[in-house]
Amino acid sequence: MLQVLACGAVVFPGLFFAFRKILPCVFKHWSDADVVLVSERLVSSLHAVMATTVGVIVATSCRESVIDDRHWLAPYFIVWYGVPYMTYDIFAMYLSHYHRFRVKGHEDYKRHSLRTVQSFVRREFLLVLHHIALLTILLPVTLFFRRDQGDFFIGCLFLTELSTPFVSLGKIFIQLSLQESWLHKANGGMVLLTFFVFRIALFPYMYWVYGRHYGIPLYSVPFHLPLSTNLGNVCILAPQVYWFVLLCRKGYRLYRRSRVPDSSPAATVTDNSKAD
């Protein structure tokens, strides 16, 4: 098991620290907070591309029977890359939080301490809870409690990462002072589109596919599934809906400010949402 975990456990932290060394050489005016933020976003985008690719392969390979068809990449990617990434990402988010407040001159952030960790957990509680839930609940379910069934739906869940590169790109555009460019605005539209389709609409689609497999209507699918499955889906879907509402609000503010002449630079629709 240690050999399995070593792959992602080396790749993601290794890339993160490599970016932290390379970016200051290219962008000499960036602060530590800027470098850590962009490094975190680049690694997140890489993982998202990997997960999306695996999701497409798994989902398209399990078309004959969405329940019984299997693909070796489904459990392989979870163990080799999913677990190490989620563990690494909590640490990377903490470092981004720490350096952001350290640059601002907060007294408590002169060094790492229990207080800085507690402040991070309070401010990013939903994201931290999301990551821990994936590690402690979703992981055991996908590996041990589904009786070798449902690889198609695991592949669909991998597809939820498709919006992450666009979210990360929005942050990077701001870092490069391109928040007023058409590229940033087009990227904001892609954030909203991919987030809605692959993080919200994907769930009723999976219910519809399940119903089609058993020949039952969509409205009957929740009553055909175990209560634990429905509760799990609700727990995954709820924060996605919350984050999507935040994205829509920021997108609306961006639109309103763009209509006002001589307004201050608008905040991006991805400003405070990591969306994992």
Task: Tell me: pLDDT of 270 over 50.
Answer: no
In the structure, what pLDDT confidence band is assigned to residue 81 with cuts at 50, 70 and 90? very high
Q: What is the pLDDT of residues 30-76, one digit of tens each?
A: 999 999 999 999 999 999 999 999 999 999 999 889 999 999 999 99
Q: How far is the C-alpha of 216 from the C-alpha of 233, rounded, in Å? A: 19
Secondary structure (H, E, C), 198-222: HHHHHHHHHHHHHHHHHCCCHHHHH
Q: Report the mean per-residue pLDDT for the chain.
A: 89
**Cα distance from N-terminal residue to C-terminal residue, the chain:** 25
pTM over 0.85: yes
Do 76 and 84 touch, CB atoms closer than 8 A? no
Q: Which two tokens stand for residue 40?
A: 């975190």
DSSP secondary structure, 31-86, as one string: -HHHHHHHHHHHHHHHHHHHHHHHHHHHHHH--S-TTT---THHHHHIIIIIHHHH
Do 105 and 67 touch, CB atoms closer than 8 A? no
Q: Which two tokens stand for residue 263?
A: 């307004």
Q: Which two tokens stand for residue 117?
A: 């960790």
